[in-house]
C-alpha cells in the first residue's frame, strides 16, 4: 500500500540561540541572515519544494519576529511598487504566507526536541509529517526533503536524513544502528543519541530532516527522558524500528551546514555567497586577496 502523502511540516524554533549571543538577545536565531535571507526562509523554501502545504512552528516567548516575517508588509510593498522596484517586490513574495498556512504553538519549557515536536501533536493529527530544523541548511540541486519524500513513497514508515561523520564527532549526534544497507537507503535496528565514540554503532549520523508517522507522537506521550535529561526525538523514532514497515535512514545528496554553530554559519555564508552569480566575482576576488595576504603574513 502506498504511504499517505506528507503535507504537514513542523519547525521547532523555540530555542534561545545562546551560542549567538549577544545578537540573539533581541532577534530570534532563525531570523539571522545567510547572505540576504534568514535561516528560516531556507527551511520554508525546502519544505515548499517538497510539496508541504501546512507549516507548524513550535515557538517560545520572544519569537514574535518570526510571525511578523511571514506576514504581508503593505507599506513596504506599496513603497517598492511606487519606486518601480519590481524585482524587490517579487523577492518579497517568497516571504509571504497565505492566511492559515502557518500555525504557531508554544513550547513553554525547554524539554528537548522530542517535547517540541510533541507540542504540535494536535495540529498534526493522525497523519505522517515532516520535521525540519532550520539550523541545518542544506545546499542541494534537489531539495533534501524532496529527495526524502520520493524515497519515503517506496518505503513508508519513518525516515531520517543521514550523513557520515568522523568517530570523534559522534557524541554530537544521534547515530544509526544499521540492520541493512541498501545504498542511499538503510534500514535501521536502532538509534543511539549522542554516544561516546567507542559506543557509536556506525558513522552515519542523523541531521535535522525527518519524515515521521503518528506512532512517534504516541511514543513521545510517555515523556521518557533520554540523553541530557531531555525528551529525545531520536528515542521515540528508535522505538519504531521493530514495527512494520520500520525506520529508515536516507543518505541525501547535498552539502549540510550546521548554522547553529558560528563556524558552520561562517562556512555557509562563504559557500552561499560564492554560489550567487551577482556576488561570485567580487566576493571571490576578495576572498582570494584575503588568503594571499594571510599567506604573505606568515
The predicted-structure confidence for 46-93, as pLDDT tens digits, reads as follows 999 999 999 999 998 878 888 888 888 888 888 988 888 888 888 887
At 74 the pLDDT is: 83
Listed in sequence order, the residues at least 6 apart from 173 whose beta carbon sits closer than 8 Å to its beta carbon are: 165, 194, 205, 206, 207
Checking if the pLDDT of 45 tops 70, the result is: yes
Checking if the pLDDT of 6 tops 90, the result is: yes
At 60 the pLDDT is: 87
Mean pLDDT, range 156-176, rounded to an integer: 90
pLDDT band at residue 171 using 50, 70 and 90 as cut-offs: confident
The predicted-structure confidence for 121-130, as pLDDT tens digits, reads as follows 999 999 999 9
Q: State the Cα–Cα distance between residues 241 and 248, nearest whole angstrom.
A: 8
Q: Half-sphere exposure (CA, 13 Å, Cβ side) for 133?
A: 22
Calculate ∠ Cα 159-116-243, nearest 5°: 35
% residues pLDDT > 90 (the chain): 57
Please indicate, yes or no, whether the overall pTM of this predicted structure exceeds 0.85: yes
The domain locations on the chain are 8-260
Q: State the Cα–Cα distance between residues 160 and 167, nearest whole angstrom.
A: 19
Q: What is the 3-state secondary structure (H, E, C) of the chain?
A: CCCCCCCEEEEECCCCCHHHCCHHHCCCHHHCEECCEEHHHHHHHHHHHCCCCEEEEEECCCCHHHHHHCCCCHHHHHHHHHCCCHHHHHHHHCCCCCCCCEEEEECCCCCCHHHHHHCCHHHHCCCCEEEECCCEEEECCCCHHHHHHHHHHHHCCEEEEEEECCHHHHHHCEEEEEEEECCCEEEEEEEEECCCHHHCCCCEEEEEEEEECHHHHHHHCCCCCCHHHCCCHHHHHHCCCCCCCCEEEEECCCEEEECCCHHHHHHHHHHHHHCCCCCHHHHHHHHHHHHHHHHHHC
Mean pLDDT, range 171-185, rounded to an integer: 90
CATH among 3.90.550.10, 3.30.70.100, 3.40.50.300, 2.60.120.650 for 8-260: 3.90.550.10
Residue 268: Cβ within 10 Å count? 22
Amino acid at each position: 500500500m502506498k504511504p499517505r502523502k506528507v503535507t504537514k511540516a513542523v519547525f521547532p524554533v523555540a530555542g534561545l540561540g545562546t551560542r549567538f549571543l549577544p545578537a540573539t538577545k533581541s532577534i530570534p536565531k532563525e531570523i539571522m541572515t545567510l547572505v540576504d535571507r534568514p535561516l528560516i526562509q531556507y527551511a520554508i523554501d525546502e519544505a515548499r519544494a517538497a510539496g508541504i502545504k501546512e507549516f507548524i512552528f513550535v515557538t517560545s516567548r520572544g519569537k514574535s519576529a518570526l510571525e511578523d516575517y511571514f506576514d504581508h508588509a503593505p507599506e513596504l510593498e506599496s513603497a517598492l511598487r511606487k519606486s518601480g522596484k519590481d524585482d524587490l517586490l517579487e523577492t518579497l513574495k517568497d516571504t509571504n504566507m497565505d492566511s492559515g498556512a502557518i500555525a504557531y504553538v508554544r513550547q513553554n519549557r525547554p524539554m528537548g526536541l522530542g517535547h517540541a515536536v510533541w507540542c504540535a501533536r494536535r495540529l498534526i493529527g493522525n497523519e505522517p509529517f515532516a520535521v525540519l530544523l532550520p539550523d541545518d541548511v542544506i545546499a542541494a540541486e534537489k531539495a533534501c526533503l524532496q529527495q526524502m519524500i520520493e524515497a519515503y513513497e517506496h518505503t513508508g514508515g519513518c525516515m531520517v536524513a543521514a550523513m557520515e561523520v568522523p568517530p570523534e564527532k559522534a557524541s554530537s549526534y544521534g547515530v544509526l544502528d544499521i540492520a541493512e544497507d541498501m545504498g542511499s537507503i538503510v534500514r535501521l535496528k536502532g538509534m543511539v543519541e549522542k554516544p561516546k565514540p567507542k559506543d557509536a554503532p556506525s558513522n552515519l549520523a542523523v541531521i535535522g530532516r525527518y519524515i515521521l508517522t503518528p506512532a512517534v507522537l504516541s511514543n513521545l506521550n510517555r515523556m521518557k527522558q533520554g540523553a541530557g535529561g531531555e525528551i529525545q526525538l531520536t528515542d521515540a523514532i528508535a522505538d519504531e524500528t521493530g514495527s512494520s514497515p520500520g525506520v529508515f535512514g536516507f543518505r541525501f545528496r547535498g552539502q549540510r551546514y550546521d548554522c547553529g554553530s558560528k563556524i558552520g554559519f561562517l562556512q555557509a555564508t562563504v559557500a552561499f555567497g560564492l554560489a550567487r552569480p551577482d556576488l561570485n566575482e567580487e566576493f571571490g576576488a576578495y576572498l582570494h586577496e584575503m588568503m594571499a595576504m594571510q599567506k604573505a603574513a606568515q
